[in-house]
Amino acid sequence: MNLFFLAWRNIRYYQQVSLAISMGVTIAIALLFLGLMVSWGVERGLETYRARLGADLLVAPREVKGNMESIFLLGKSEKQYFNGKIVDELRSLKGIKRISPQVFLESVAASCCSAGYVFIIGYDPKTDFTLLPWISLRERGKIGKDDAVVGANIIQPVGFFLRFYGHRFKIVAQLDRTGVGFYDNAVYLPIETVYKMAQESKVKPEIYDLNLKRGWISTAFIELEKGVNAQEIEGKIKRRYPNLETVKAIGLVKKVKEELPRLQRYFFIFISFVSVALFFLITIVFYLFNQMRRREHGLLRALGGRKMDLLTLVLLEGSLLILFGSFAGIILALTIKHLFYRWVIFTLKMPLLYPSLSLQLLGMMISTTLILVIGLVGAFYPAYLIANEEPYESIRFSG
């Protein structure tokens, strides 16, 4: 028998108090860990999104001005199109290295293949430079007119089939997660197939009219030559095509980047509040818990226990409860993180890609250490008080 054994037995004996303390810790650590994951996840999401976008400029109809973030970050469909011939004209513009059109169809709720809605995008396999580079050569080589490349949120795996607007598509590749709805909820189909579907929707009564003319597009992704000033090109495009809106790829993430410190500041304030609340909770609960067990502690001293033994015992009990609470808190946070991933993205309106496993482990360690320190500091004062009380006082005046 040692103090660890005694601490463990006490925790088991005083189950209700132990449970109450552990639950407080569970909630605090879950909030802290989730906060860290979201904060780091947005940073990672932004980096991944910037890398994934591949383009320097995006062109869209003027009508979608102001909705660019919701389209290109969240993947919210806008049924505004412009004539795709402009793409060929722009291709000849000096300073533009590559340009590729994409057409967005209406988002469809598809419980068959996704946890939420699916964003159908038509891409041009001949000119595309934003999607195909992320697919392995082997997969690229076998993409046909009825093949689909899907985002990470699409549940069906490669080799399975999806059905949209009366057409059946085979999934030939799945993209890695980006934390951005525009990519993760997307189903990429060859642009010609999309036009065919749109044509058929006009004649097939069972299909909802897609209202898309052949050759019309939603956006064009532009890659500039090295050293070319994006603003200059934007100006040229806007002057030549006043009905078009341009946005710099960096501009899409700029707003989120500006928002991020604010989010992190709120998170810091929130965590500070939770930490202070936890500190007081643990101090008060431990104080009351020790008062309740004052006689027991006095007895331990009477039976030969030193002040240090008592202090160690109370802090050991606290540490064990915090560690149990931490473990439960991490499990809770991981569950919430998994279950509410898409809800968090839509609420924050920011790209969110949870950090790598090693960073998540670091987050667990930081959260647990912080809560352990707060908990032990909170438990120390009540433990110090009880350890320094005369054994006779503890025994005689026990509550």
Partner 1 sequence: MKVSDSAAKTLVWAENLSKVYETPFGKIEAVKKVNLEVKKGEFVSIIGPTGSGKTTLLNLIGGLTVPTEGLIFIDGCYLGGLGDEEISRFRGEKIGFIFQFASLIPSLTVLENVCLPSFLLRKRSKEAILTRAKMLIERVGLSGNEASLPFCLSGGEQRLAAIARSLINQPELILADEPTGDLDEETEVKVIDLLHQLNYEEKITFILVTHNLKLAARGNHLFEMREGKLTERDKGNL
Question: Interface residues with partner 1 (CB under 8 A)?
Answer: 1-2, 6, 9-10, 12-14, 295-296, 298-309, 390-393, 395-396
Nearer to partner 1, 181 or 298 (CB): 298
Task: Select from 214, 203, 189 the least CA-distant residue to 108.
Answer: 189
Nearer to partner 1, 192 or 296 (CB): 296
Nearer to partner 1, 202 or 396 (CB): 396
Distance CA 198, CA 105 (A): 9
Distance CA 249, CA 222 (A): 9
Query: What is the nearest approach in angstroms of partner 1 to the Cβ of residue 396?
Result: 8
Query: What is the nearest approach in angstroms of partner 1 to the Cβ of residue 372?
Result: 23
Compute φ and ψ for 187, nearest 5 degrees: -125, 115
Query: What is the nearest approach in angstroms of partner 1 to the Cβ of residue 317?
Result: 11
Nearer to partner 1, 200 or 296 (CB): 296
Distance CA 302, CA 306 (A): 9
With vertex at residue 347, the alpha carbon angle to CA 34 and CA 32, rounded to the nearest 5 degrees, is 15
Residue 314, CB half-sphere, CA atoms under 13 Å: how many? Answer: 36
Nearer to partner 1, 270 or 392 (CB): 392
Distance CA 133, CA 148 (A): 15
226 burial level (CB within 10 Å; 0-12, 13-18, 19+):
exposed
Task: Select from 377, 266, 268 the least CA-distant residue to 319.
Answer: 377
Nearer to partner 1, 13 or 338 (CB): 13
Query: What is the nearest approach in angstroms of partner 1 to the Cβ of residue 13?
Result: 3
Query: What is the nearest approach in angstroms of partner 1 to the Cβ of residue 327?
Result: 22
Find out whether 275 and 368 touch, Cβ atoms under 8 Å. Answer: no
Query: What is the nearest approach in angstroms of partner 1 to the Cβ of residue 25?
Result: 21
With vertex at residue 156, the alpha carbon angle to CA 152 and CA 161, rounded to the nearest 5 degrees, is 125
Total Cβ atoms within 10 A of residue 268: 13
Enter the DSSP assignment of 57: E
Distance CA 368, CA 208 (A): 53
Query: What is the nearest approach in angstroms of partner 1 to the Cβ of residue 304?
Result: 2
Find out whether 26 and 328 touch, Cβ atoms under 8 Å. Answer: yes
Task: Select from 250, 254, 258 the least CA-distant residue to 53.
Answer: 250
With vertex at residue 144, the alpha carbon angle to CA 196 and CA 183, rounded to the nearest 5 degrees, is 80
Nearer to partner 1, 182 or 286 (CB): 286
Query: What is the nearest approach in angstroms of partner 1 to the Cβ of residue 294?
Result: 13
Query: What is the nearest approach in angstroms of partner 1 to the Cβ of residue 390?
Result: 5
Nearer to partner 1, 232 or 393 (CB): 393
- Residue type at position 39: S
Nearer to partner 1, 76 or 297 (CB): 297
